[in-house]
Structure 1
Amino acid sequence: MQRLSGLDASFLYLETRSQMMHIIGLIEIDPSTVPGGYSFVKLRDELQRRIAAMPNFRRKLDNSMLNIDHPVWIEDDDFDIERHVHRVAVPAPGGEAELAELCGHLAGQTLDRGKPLWELWIIEGLADGKVAAMLRTHHASVDGVTGAEMLAQMCTLSPEAPELDPDKVQETAGPTSRTTMALTGAMNYFVQRPIAMARLIPGTVEVPINWFRRSRTKSAMPAPFQAPRTRFNAPITPHRALAMAQLSLDDVKRVKNQFDVKINDVVLAITAGALRDYLEGHDELPDEPLVAMVPVSVHGADESSLVTGGTNKVTGMFAKLASDLDDPVDRLKRAAELARTSKDHHADIDANMLRAWAQFAPGTTLATVMKFYGDRRLAMSHPPVFNVLVSNVAGPDFPLYFLGARVTAVYPLGPVFHGLGLNITVFSADGHLNIGILTCTDLAPDVWDIAHAFDHELKRLLEACD
């Protein structure tokens, strides 16, 4: 039995029928590379074999009415691969648009909390003979870094099936114990939490004070609730729209080297340009620059004494996107400057503070408040916290094989929220920059226009290099 951290559990509490809290990995594979030929049954059986050494895929949630703390993970003794791996064909003619429409429908479904919180859809019938694999995993059990690690467990450097790690085979979340769950939960709630609160408050009070001081010298990242309103900052429905774009990593590096910036700066600059093009095309471009929330992994950072463990080890920084500038080079240079300011400011804030405060997340209360917030469309009653969530995750720069099939693209897709209805996630792998865009159909049914704008913005920067 393993108790969820407050941040992990928060993604359970925040979930509603309109606000699904799962992360998606859309993987395109070449079935012709599978040793002995591709078949769905062969792929499913190989995954079942590997899951014996993937303990995170075998654990499920457990809770009790007497437990006043966060839920726990336990081993699923009745694990059945057929409840998790499904087969479906994309409608004709099997192009990107049909694939995205099917995946958008699947993305709008909640995961069954009675079993391990993941499922894999094998999508056949693509026009180019390829196969797609759509992996949905709840955010309570994965973040950007651990998601990449889970993908790595499904992938290898060659088509041949790997040997299983005997230590991972023996690893387990353990059985349930309602008595232990209730007693340790009460100990956490009544003893450890008050002590943690007393330790947290002094450091937390300093954050807004230092933020105000930095803002006077223009060295602060933008504060929450100061972003201009866009069509994405509205209540969402369960309907999802997604689009993908794949850019050459060599082209991105060429721009990076030409203008002496970082890859993340190029990502933020072309994101700003793509959103500028899209909003300008709808005559909705704000005069002020858009504000992005950029998740920052704290994997490998020193654990705070106030919080340890948990899957989601992430915090976030706010960054302006320079979407108010039309020239792509000016926008890139400004994006790099704004990103440096935000990074310097963010570095002065305890990386574990968000996770520490999340320990106090009240489950039933937070879930009720979130449902009320969505039902009453309260996202329209206050300024947007930020405009878009932009993640950049570095993957392996070499070929991978997904259960024996060569991977040609990996598109990550993160969740959207009421009032924050656009998520752009970038994953670099095998010489490509793969961009996954997820939004609500009611907010942007033409989301492919944003995806196409990414390619256009990178070409403008390459022209500037020439």
Structure 2
Amino acid sequence: MPFMPVTESMFLVAETREHPMHVGGLQLFVPPDGEEETFGQKVYETFEAATDVYELFRKRPAPPVNVMGTLRWIFDDDLDFEHHVRRIMLPRPGRVRELLRYVSAEHGAPLDRHRPMWELHIIEGLADGRLALYSKIHHSLVDGVSALKLFEKTLTPDPDRRDCGPIWDPALFRKKKSSAVATTGGGALAAVSTGVKAAGELAGMGPAAARIGWNKLRGNDMVLPLTAPHTMLNVPIGGARRFASQQWSKTRMTDVASALGVTLNDVVLTMCAGALRSYLIDRNALPDQPLVAMVPVSMREAGADASGGNAVTTVLCNLGTDQPDPERRLAAVVRSMNDSKAMMRNLSPLQALGYGAAVMAPLLLTPVPGFVRNTPPPFNVIISNVPGPKTEMYWNGARLDGVYPASIVLDGQALNITLATNADNVNFGLVGDRRSVPSLQRMLTHLDTALEELEKLA
């Protein structure tokens, strides 16, 4: 029974019925020609036959699940595939509206801790002939980046291949054996070396915090925690969710970024800033101070395996929502993100993770009665950008048409905006508390308007 690192156990500790801690995704596929009516059955049969399951998908909290289950993992040898893999037929008329209603309802339901914590729903019945897969997996097992990388492992750029399997296939995780030969005692020496390095980096947390504070005193525009304004998005929430999604052309956004000399992520954040400003104006709820976004940053090195676990820190971004002019709003976003990046370059990986933990720490107090309503929010909204495959990808001849993330909302954080890319698509997935964030679909219209404003500026 392996111990859980705190980066995994914290998602179990924080979970309640009203605050399920799983990440999800909605993938849409265009079946091969002539297979529109039978492709869902083929997918189900492929998954049902794949009974050899990689250990990540056999892990569950040790019993009792609410005590030992936050400390150690155990592994199930036999999985109940009827529970984990489900085949669903949408009600008529099979519009995207019916699909999003189904995902909204399922995303609010917690995963069973007495089983490995994942589900995969095969959804048929869309009027346009596409097949949908809705997956959810507990955040203690994967973060957003590793969840998408797991999904990518099952795909191929070859539309003629017919040997693609499910994400739990152990063959997807096999690595080439290292040719390096370990010397006697190397494990112990490595452990000591790692411990010394960690102790040194932890000792450097104080000076690192001092550097961050000094940068702020020097007039740096970097945003600090607990400086965000109160908004209608920063309230206690219930357990019901609403999910909305939309796709835009990546080329449109990169053209804007190139013309304005900024990054694609700057364009995305400014789109979100414009949409949030318009949405809050619609509700007569826009604060005078600019909203602050928490932006997750992957700590994985380029080329590192990202198929499991959590390796994410966070930075804070001034969204410039107090600026009616999109050019000034973009400038505020760029300036804030550049300052945060400069700060991160001065931190070691361990110190960066520590900073991210400090940003997130106030969320641990949200269950305390009155805390959310009577203290400044650490930030107003979470905005994540997860890079996906850069070319067209296929699963047994079916073309991936879009991948829409569905993430987590919390007490005090009623809206989450996550996007993922595939080929020339930028796919936005918005999750909101059903009561606190009404008319979530309006955010999609405002995102489109914000992109048009940036195109005119470019």
Range into which the TM-score falls when normalised by the shorter chain = 0.7 to 0.9
Q: Confirm whether residue 25 of structure 1 aligns to residue 25 of structure 2.
A: yes
Q: Confirm whether residue 449 of structure 1 aligns to residue 449 of structure 2.
A: no
Q: SS at 1:374's partner residue?
A: coil
Distance, in Å, in 2 between the alignment partners of 1:354 and 1:13 is: 22
Check 1:353–1:212 CA distance in 2 against 1; reply closer, same or farther (3 A cut): closer
Distance, in Å, in 1 between the alignment partners of 2:164 and 2:102 is: 34
Q: Give the drift of 1:91.
A: 3.2
Q: SS at 1:236's partner residue?
A: coil
The residue number in structure 2 matching 1:10 is: 10
Is the 8 Å Cα contact of residues 50 and 154 (structure 1) preserved in structure 2?
Answer: no
Distance, in Å, in 2 between the alignment partners of 1:218 and 1:2 is: 47
Is the 8 Å Cα contact of residues 58 and 76 (structure 1) preserved in structure 2?
Answer: yes
Pairing 1:251-262 to 2, within 5 Å after superposition: 251-262=252-263
Q: Give the drift of 1:246.
A: 0.8
Q: Give the drift of 1:430.
A: 1.3
RMSD: 3.4
The residue number in structure 2 matching 1:81 is: 81
Name the stretch that deviates more: 40-49 or 15-24.
40-49
Is the 8 Å Cα contact of residues 228 and 380 (structure 2) preserved in structure 1?
Answer: yes
Higher relative contact order (CA 8 A, sep 6+): 1
Pairing 1:52-71 to 2, within 5 Å after superposition: 52=52, 54-63=54-63, 71=71
The residue number in structure 2 matching 1:321 is: 319
Check 1:314–1:449 CA distance in 2 against 1; reply closer, same or farther (3 A cut): same
Name the stretch that deviates more: 318-327 or 233-242.
318-327
The residue number in structure 1 matching 2:427 is: 434
The residue number in structure 2 matching 1:351 is: 349
Check 1:82–1:156 CA distance in 2 against 1; reply closer, same or farther (3 A cut): farther
Q: Confirm whether residue 424 of structure 1 aligns to residue 422 of structure 2.
A: no
Check 1:33–1:411 CA distance in 2 against 1; reply closer, same or farther (3 A cut): farther
Distance, in Å, in 2 between the alignment partners of 1:317 and 1:80 is: 40
Q: Give the drift of 1:248.
A: 0.6
Is the 8 Å Cα contact of residues 155 and 164 (structure 2) preserved in structure 1?
Answer: no
Q: Deviations over 1:251-295 (max 9, x none)?
A: 001101100110011011111001011011111111111101110
- Which of 375, 380, 384 aligns to 1:387? It is 380
Distance, in Å, in 1 between the alignment partners of 2:246 and 2:30 is: 18
- Residue identity matched to 2:409: V
Distance, in Å, in 2 between the alignment partners of 1:460 and 1:204 is: 42
Is the 8 Å Cα contact of residues 118 and 135 (structure 1) preserved in structure 2?
Answer: yes
Distance, in Å, in 2 between the alignment partners of 1:80 and 1:447 is: 35
Distance, in Å, in 2 between the alignment partners of 1:424 and 1:46 is: 32
Pairing 1:42-441 to 2, within 5 Å after superposition: 42-49=42-49, 52=52, 54-63=54-63, 71-159=71-159, 160-162=161-163, 202-300=203-301, 311-353=309-351, 373-374=366-367, 376-402=369-395, 404-441=397-434
Check 1:21–1:36 CA distance in 2 against 1; reply closer, same or farther (3 A cut): closer
Q: Give the drift of 1:50.
A: 5.4
Q: Give the drift of 1:411.
A: 0.4
Distance, in Å, in 1 between the alignment partners of 2:58 and 2:48 is: 11
Q: Give the drift of 1:197.
A: 9.2
Q: TM-score if structure 2 supplies the norm length?
A: 0.85
Distance, in Å, in 1 between the alignment partners of 2:164 and 2:366 is: 49
Q: SS at 2:257's partner residue?
A: helix
Name the stretch that deviates more: 319-328 or 50-59.
50-59
Check 1:457–1:223 CA distance in 2 against 1; reply closer, same or farther (3 A cut): same
Equivalent residue pairs, number: 433
Distance, in Å, in 2 between the alignment partners of 1:108 and 1:199 is: 42
Check 1:51–1:258 CA distance in 2 against 1; reply closer, same or farther (3 A cut): farther
Check 1:46–1:382 CA distance in 2 against 1; reply closer, same or farther (3 A cut): same
- Residue identity matched to 1:351: P
Check 1:227–1:357 CA distance in 2 against 1; reply closer, same or farther (3 A cut): closer
Distance, in Å, in 2 between the alignment partners of 1:120 and 1:229 is: 37
- Residue identity matched to 1:383: P
Q: SS at 1:340's partner residue?
A: helix
Is the 8 Å Cα contact of residues 59 and 116 (structure 2) preserved in structure 1?
Answer: yes
Q: Give the drift of 1:441.
A: 0.7
Distance, in Å, in 2 between the alignment partners of 1:427 and 1:166 is: 25
Is the 8 Å Cα contact of residues 278 and 449 (structure 1) preserved in structure 2?
Answer: yes
Q: TM-score if structure 1 supplies the norm length?
A: 0.83
Distance, in Å, in 2 between the alignment partners of 1:282 and 1:155 is: 42
The residue number in structure 1 matching 2:453 is: 460
Distance, in Å, in 2 between the alignment partners of 1:162 and 1:297 is: 31
Distance, in Å, in 2 between the alignment partners of 1:320 and 1:358 is: 16
Is the 8 Å Cα contact of residues 244 and 431 (structure 2) preserved in structure 1?
Answer: yes
Q: Deviations over 1:142-168 (max 9, x none)?
A: 112211111113322235333788765
Q: Return 5+ residue gaps in structure 1 as ranges.
A: 172-187, 304-308, 360-365
Q: Deviations over 1:307-365 (max 9, x none)?
A: xx971011111111111222223322332122111111122233324656999xxxxxx
Percent of paired sites with the same residue: 32
Distance, in Å, in 1 between the alignment partners of 2:352 and 2:64 is: 26
- Residue identity matched to 2:342: D
Name the stretch that deviates more: 154-163 or 96-105.
154-163
Q: SS at 1:140's partner residue?
A: coil
Is the 8 Å Cα contact of residues 8 and 139 (structure 2) preserved in structure 1?
Answer: yes
- Residue identity matched to 2:268: V
Distance, in Å, in 2 between the alignment partners of 1:112 and 1:411 is: 23
